Amino acid sequence: MNSKILQFIALAFSSLVILQAFLGVVLFGRLVGFSVHDVSVYYGDKSLHGLLEVTLPHTLFISIALMAVLHFLAFIQTIDLKTTKKATCFVFTLFFLDQFSPLLISFGLEFFAILKLFAFIGFQIALLWIWMLLFKQTLTGLK
Amino acid sequence: MKFIASKKLSDNSVMRSIIIGMLLSLIFAMMLSMTAKGIDYGVSPMQWNAAVLGNEAEFIDPMSFNDLLLGIHADLFGLIITFVLIASVYARMGRSRVIAISFLTLSLLSLLVYPIGMLFSPLLGSTGVSLSLSAFILFHSLMIVGGLDALIGLLRKKF
């Protein structure tokens, strides 16, 4: 394929994924809020059913998406296997904390509100970093 | 994923059956997605406009921005995964370069225009909604046609 078109396709796809992450952040800001108090109040008031309605699809789909995204890291020459493993563990840890902190907050463990906030922001930044890395590699050539 | 790395799918009957099953499910999912949207929003631009922007004459309230964001966020996730799966099979089918590039570019552009049109509909009004509706139909049609093309190719052991 012509490299310019390939670059355009990579750019369009990256924009799409960034748009999706951006929508997630905006939604979080509008529905929950970015302060520890907001997070604590929002999840503290939610029923278990309400929490599962959000956690279940996220856990199911994001785990598949993470598998698809992270396996591309193995194709990047400049990153060794150890770093890929560490990055994978780090991203999955943030993902689990992000998804399961709300359940613990609703059980009265308000401390997890701080963790939820950090995990959410950290997860978004980590994913963005991985996508940017993959995008950069697509432009410079995969192994 | 293995099907991206393996050389010829027709030589591997297990992978071939898995991908045939996956394509059938995705084509079915795309049809269901269009049906669900038709039930939720309607099937004409007028009905989409009324569902998103509201209609005073019919006492329909406009959709709240939070609901709009939530709908796009949920839709986009499934559509991105569908695009990645169908495009990765389609790209290795051996179709001519022009067809493959046109398929990928058009699919991606329509997938980008759909949420952007919806997001900007409070500013652009019915133009944004109509753009979004056109992109939604174009993307789903492309995925169904591309999926069917790949499915027929696989059944005929073309790649």
Q: Is the ipTM of this complex over 0.90?
A: no
Q: Chain B contacts of A5, Cβ < 8 Å? A: 101, 105
- Can you say whether residue B13 is alpha, beta or left, with left for phi > 0 and alpha for psi between -120 and 50 degrees? alpha
Q: Is residue B4 part of a domain?
A: no
Q: How distant is the Cα of A30 from the closest Cα of chain B, in angstroms?
A: 7
Overall pTM surpassing 0.80 (yes/no): yes
Q: What angle do CA B4, B7, B10 make, to 5 degrees?
A: 100
Terminal C-alpha separation, chain A: 16
- Rounded Cα distance, B63 and B65, in Å: 6
Q: Is residue B2 part of a domain?
A: no
Q: Is residue B71 part of a domain?
A: yes
- Rounded Cα distance, B69 and A118, in Å: 23
Question: Which of the four pLDDT bands, split at 50, 70 and 90, describes residue B149?
Answer: very high
Is B81 close to A17, i.e. CB distance below 8 A?
no
Which residues of B lie inside 8 Å of A (Cβ-Cβ)? Answer: 1, 65-66, 69-70, 72-74, 76-78, 80-81, 84, 97, 100-101, 104-105, 108-109, 111-112, 115-116
Q: Is residue B139 part of a domain?
A: yes
pLDDT tens, residue order, chain A (143 aa): 567 777 788 788 878 888 888 898 999 999 999 999 999 999 988 899 989 988 988 898 888 888 878 887 877 777 788 888 888 999 999 999 999 999 999 998 988 999 999 999 999 889 888 877 877 776 665 44
**Amino acid letter at B35?**
T
**Amino acid letter at B90?**
Y
Q: How distant is the Cα of B57 from the closest Cα of chain A, in angstroms?
A: 30
**Contact between residue A122 and residue A94 where contact means Cβ atoms under 8 Å apart:** yes
Tokens of A81: 């296997």
What pLDDT is attached to residue A142? 44
Q: How far is CA A137 from the centre of its chain?
A: 20
Which residues have CB under 8 Å from A6's CB, separation 6+? A138
Is A27 close to B77, i.e. CB distance below 8 A?
no
Q: Chain A contacts of B65, Cβ < 8 Å? A: 30
Instruction: Choose from B104, B113, B116 for mutation: most chain A CBs within 10 A.
Output: B104
Q: What is the pLDDT of residues B3-35, one digit of tens each?
A: 455 567 777 788 888 899 999 999 999 999 999
Buried b (16+ CB within 10 A) or exposed e, B4-28: eeeeebeeeeebbeebeebbeebbe
- What domain range is B116 assigned to? 11-155
Domain count for chain B, please give it.
1
Q: Is residue B68 part of a domain?
A: yes
- For chains A and B, CB pairs below 8 A equal 58
Give the dihedral sign, CA A119/A125/A131/A133: negative
- Rounded Cα distance, A6 and A137, in Å: 12
